[in-house]
Amino acid sequence: MGESSGQDQAISPMEESSSEIADGNSNKSQAANSCLPLHLDDNQLYGRDEEMGLLYHAYENSCLRDEPAEEDDLLFAQLQDSSRQSHTSSTSCHTYNSNRRRPRRRKRRSSMVIITGPSGLGKTALARTLQPKVEDDNGWFLYGKCNQIPSSRHAMAVRPYAPFAEAFSQFVDELLLHNKDNTDSKDTLDRLQRAVFCACQDTSVSVLTDTIPALQKVVPTNTDASSGLLKSSSAITVGGTRTGVDIPSNVVFCKFLQAFCSRQTPLVLFVDDLQWLDASSLSLFQAVVLAQGDIAGLLVVGTCRGNEVSFQAPLAETLRTLEDQHGVAVLDIAVHPLTPPAIQDWIVGLLGCVVPGLVDLVMRHTGGIPFFALQFLRNLYETRQLRYDGQQWVCDAVLPDDVLEESQSDDDELDDDEEEKTTKVETNRTEEANRTVEYTKFCSSTISHMIQQHNNLALQHVLMVAACLGTEFSLAQIAAASGIVTDLDPALQLLVQKGMLLRRKEPSLLQHWGKQGPKISFRWSHDRFQTVAFEMIPESTREEFHVAIGLNLLRRLSPLELQQQPFVAMHQFCWCNTSSSIPFQSDQERTQLATLCLAAGQQAALSSAFEAAATYLQLGLDVIGSSSAFAAHYDLTLSLFNAAAEMEGCLGNFDKVDQLVAAVWEHATSFRDTLQAYETQIYSLGAREELDRAIQLGLQCLQKLGIVLPRRPRLFSVIYAVLKTKRQLAKKSADDIMSLYPLQDWKNAAALRIMHLMISHANRVEENLSVLLATRGIQITLKHGLSEMACFGFYSFGLVLVASLGAVDEGIRVAEMASAIQEKSDSQAMKCRAQLVLYGYTKCWTLPITDTIQPLQDAARYGALSGDTEMSCLSLYCASCASFLSAAATLDETEEELADLNDHFSQRHQDLMLFYLRISQQTVQNLRGSSNCRVVLSGDFFDEEKELQHAKDVGNVPGITLVYLFQCYLAVYFNDSLLAKRASKILLKRTLMGFNLPLWYQVHFVGGLAEVDGAKMSGKRVRQAGKASLKSLMQLARHQPDNVMNKVYLIEAERLATMGQRNKALEKYRLSIEHAKKNNFVHEEALASERAGLSLIGWGETTNGAAFLERARWLYEKWGCTGKVCDLSSQEKAPANY
């Protein structure tokens, strides 16, 4: 598939930079050959054999081999050590290196390659050497370059996700160009389309195409999917910030790569100049690297100027996090200046002969940096100091004698001791940095000489404007931005001829829009040229210069062009300190810019680039005149304030949210116009964990909508509402609900949205209010019509019927109505919640417990794709409970899964879910015998005393109950009757509202056993012990006996054994063991066998009891419960052969 990432050489967007030419990588640049007619050997690098070997090994390991994770780790460790030992004096990206821990992983370990070194060393050329190999392996090599970001706090990246969008833009263009006459391209295009639909099967295609616009050329998109700013039901998360891993577009992009890549068709994603990654691209980069271990055939390669990355830089922090917290294997290949022998080989490759003195001259003036070496040779050639006399190449430039002496001195210093060498390394790094400054000056003088030589001021202006437009820009953009008409084409042609710019045509336009000419664009051949061109702008006038470019774009580009590419213009205006410094010609122009800011902010928000979106929207507010503009431009100003408030909430800037929504409430001319501000503020307050304020604000808004609900409802009101709603729904079928007219009244539609926002908060602090919200939502639907927001009322009420009233069948029926509403409305935001309630709380009552695990994991995926992070994580926690408490996996496998979930929740700042999860992790650690005290929830993951007190302080009712549940669980399994009695006494009195079904089972099971153990120990209330738990379990058994009967039989057996009824007790033990075995509950089969054995030994039947204990020990070992295996193995009551 060689043609997939290359194009016609004369116009290739993938042309080699000057540094690449200097490394001898390609002869594709016509500009280079016209200035210096030297012939380069294709794909030939000099002095890079070791680095190429490391890179090829990494590619083969990541993309072609299918080895165990341990072998992956070992190979990457060997490669990394090799790289470090070979480059101890490197100016590499050491700012992010730290002590690595080697975490356990069952899956393939994620990995990436980063090529580091100062500018001009040919890092890009080195990475490109992979391209022919990848194409030979029937794969694809995609290239994207980060936009150079000047060191200004006002400057934003030219466009969000620029390197990823560029990589796929070139790829898609090439596929479309060859689609008709190339079978491979047709197959690849089909594969690309299937991958897009596979990734977006649970969400809108626009989620992906908003991030990678080029994919719109190959797949149809739903134009309505992106209406509105953010449709996610949890755009503002707890803590107020979104991480890269939980942004829907990032999740979908990783799924797309997973569907597209394979070991038979590998893909190398090359991101150039990582040090310039903007915030949105960095979050996507992090997500892709983390997912790489699950994507067969993918390798992520990046280049980075390590000497320009500080320890505190976002890239450095991200790389440290990837390595230290997530165990990503980062292979750092450090690139150094070429040695004199490599320079010699390079010159021979260029000139075909050895030129006396030229190697020393190049080393003296360029330090062996390929980019500057080529510029130096071009300079010698153009000044006739390097010439071809008809027979051979001759260099007339002379190397000073003192340089020869320095060279000899350097040879004498080779025998220095290690301490002197270390000092020398640091000196070399300083000298290298100084040389870079000198080489930049040299490059600047070269450009100045060219401008003076051609006496062309237009050329200088074009250079400066091009530097401000970014790494790549279109002919239309440079024409509009520069304001030059007649002299533009000659200036651009000269820059291409001199090798500073590379010219590109977009082939897809030739293919599909034949009536138009090809779309011409240009890109800088090397960053140094762009840097020098930018520095030609006087620092004191840079802000004014950028603003002038922005105004030219605003005035001269068509509205359609601005709408399609708003970020280039917005980048220019982001340089101004205040909007008052923008010289508008009219109020209409000011309004036009504010409108463009709104469009750019909305487009950035849809692709989850929240920081950029907030910047653009704030600029729009400054331009329009903030709140004073409500009178003159009401709709535009209202939209800017609402959009800005939502973005500030996503970034966690809650003070700004308060200010923005307050302005909306003050200046809005109708209550309807304030509704979005109410919704944003309720989100915001929930993210701050100010649940009471969020609920109070929601009640105030509902009151204005004509719905009055009490803050603390009386029990009678709740019972009445439940019975009334239950009676109303008893007469309705799912078809009846589906046939309701659509909800048209805006007030009731708004009320449903507000109640949906409130109900999750009410579930935590006011259970009765959450019931009223659910019933009122259903009544609005039955009376006024159906909408997608009706889901929340039905699934919440279904949960109430099951959990509070025990009306399981009716509760399931109502929850299935919610699911039907979701499917009819195709509401992706509701899909996770509907499925979670079905398989975590209602329908699960009638299913084998293990049958709920996969649907819950599916629900988590739906939540991730819709941005509903909180419900996605809750779904994963419920799935983990079902797996752990049914022994669907061994404890060591469970430990691995819980550790992965811990990482998952931590990345998404889901502190509440982490609290619940760490209780499970500590329980597993105790069961495996890895904690100091096996019956106390304290160890590596949880501190029982501290965390329990914290839960009580913040009113975390479910968390408190969960602590007592697993206290009781451990006490039962480790036979601590005193602790079991104490914990069960508290546990069985607590509410279980909000607990998923596996936890319900365990509350009644271990709570009942603990009661019996306590009665056995005290000899009191023996006949009453466990009866309440048995009653509850028998009610659960009516719907799905396989989940419950082994638990029922074991409690009954223990009660009978306590009362001395041996035969009846043994029969119940037998039934409990049989049912546990039948349903693969190995842990509860082990517990029943152990309890039977201990009872038999207590009755004096030591041999029979030892046999049961032996089986229990074997079952515990099978489960992975090392703590119990050790306990049973050391019991003195067992016979010798035990």
Least confident window among 181-185, 411-415, 852-856: 411-415
pLDDT in tens, 442-496: 666 666 666 666 667 788 899 999 999 988 898 999 999 998 878 898 889 888 8
Question: Which pLDDT band, with edges at 50, 70 and 90, does 246 fall under?
Answer: low
pLDDT at 916 over 80: yes
Q: How many CB atoms lie within 10 A of CB 103?
A: 15
pLDDT at 7 over 70: no
Please report where in the chains the tokens 């040919």 appear, as a residue: 122
Are 95 and 186 contained in the same domain? yes
Give the 3-state secondary structure of 404-439. Answer: HHHHHHHHHHHHCCHHHHHHHHHHHHHHHHHHHHHH
Cα gap 25→122, rounded to integer Å: 9
Which residues have CB under 8 Å from 1020's CB, separation 6+?
A: none
Least confident window among 520-524, 741-745, 965-969: 520-524
Q: How many CB atoms lie within 10 A of CB 633?
A: 18
Are 470 and 345 contained in the same domain? no
Query: Per the structure, how many domains does the chain have?
Result: 6
Distances (CA, A) of 605 to 135, 150, 620, 626, 799: 36, 23, 15, 21, 34
Return the half-sphere exposure (C-beta side, CA atoms, 13 A cut-off) of residue 654.
17
910 lies in a domain? no
Of the candidates 377, 401, 425, which is a domain's last residue? 401
Are 1090 and 1067 contained in the same domain? yes
410 lies in a domain? no
Full strand arrangement of the beta sheet holding 519-524: 472-474, 519-524, 501-506
423 lies in a domain? no
Return the half-sphere exposure (C-beta side, CA atoms, 13 A cut-off) of residue 406.
9
Are 216 and 76 contained in the same domain? yes
Range of the domain at 18: 1-31+340-401
Q: How many CB atoms lie within 10 A of CB 298?
A: 28
φ and ψ at residue 180, rounded to 5 degrees: -75, -35
The tokens for 779 are 């009544």
pLDDT recorded at residue 515: 38
**Average pLDDT, rounded, for the chain:** 82
Angle between helix axes 527-535 and 418-454 (nearest 10 degrees) is: 60
pLDDT recorded at residue 214: 84
Interval 418-430 mean pLDDT = 51
Are 612 and 736 contained in the same domain? no
Q: How many CB atoms lie within 10 A of CB 821?
A: 27
1105 lies in a domain? yes
Per-residue DSSP letter, 861: H
Of the candidates 628, 658, 688, which is a domain's last residue? 658
Q: Which position has the higher pLDDT, 830 or 723?
A: 723
pLDDT at 181 over 70: no
Are 177 and 324 contained in the same domain? yes
Least confident window among 15-19, 302-306, 775-779, 922-926: 15-19
39 lies in a domain? no
CATH of residue 272's domain is: 3.40.50
Are 7 and 80 contained in the same domain? no
pLDDT in tens, 774-812: 999 999 999 999 998 999 999 999 989 988 888 889 999
Least confident window among 680-689, 987-996, 998-1007: 987-996
Question: Which pLDDT band, with edges at 50, 70 and 90, does 211 fall under?
Answer: confident
Are 505 and 623 contained in the same domain? no
Of the candidates 790, 819, 848, which is a domain's last residue? 819
**8 Å CB contact between 1065 and 1053:** yes
Are 55 and 27 contained in the same domain? no
pLDDT recorded at residue 314: 87
pLDDT in tens, 290-310: 888 888 899 999 999 888 888
Question: Which pLDDT band, with edges at 50, 70 and 90, does 953 fall under?
Answer: confident
pLDDT at 234 over 60: no
pTM of the model: 0.75
Are 760 and 738 contained in the same domain? yes
Q: Which of 269-273, 316-320, 361-365, 490-494 is modeled with the greatest confidence?
A: 269-273
CATH of residue 1072's domain is: 1.25.40.10
Q: Which position has the higher pLDDT, 508 or 83?
A: 83
pLDDT recorded at residue 194: 87
Are 395 and 452 contained in the same domain? no
**8 Å CB contact between 232 and 225:** no
832 lies in a domain? no
pLDDT in tens, 740-772: 999 999 999 999 999 999 998 888 788 899 999
**8 Å CB contact between 149 and 155:** yes
Are 496 and 449 contained in the same domain? yes
58 lies in a domain? yes
Alpha helices by DSSP H, listed for 334-412, are 340-351, 358-366, 370-382, 401-412
730 lies in a domain? yes
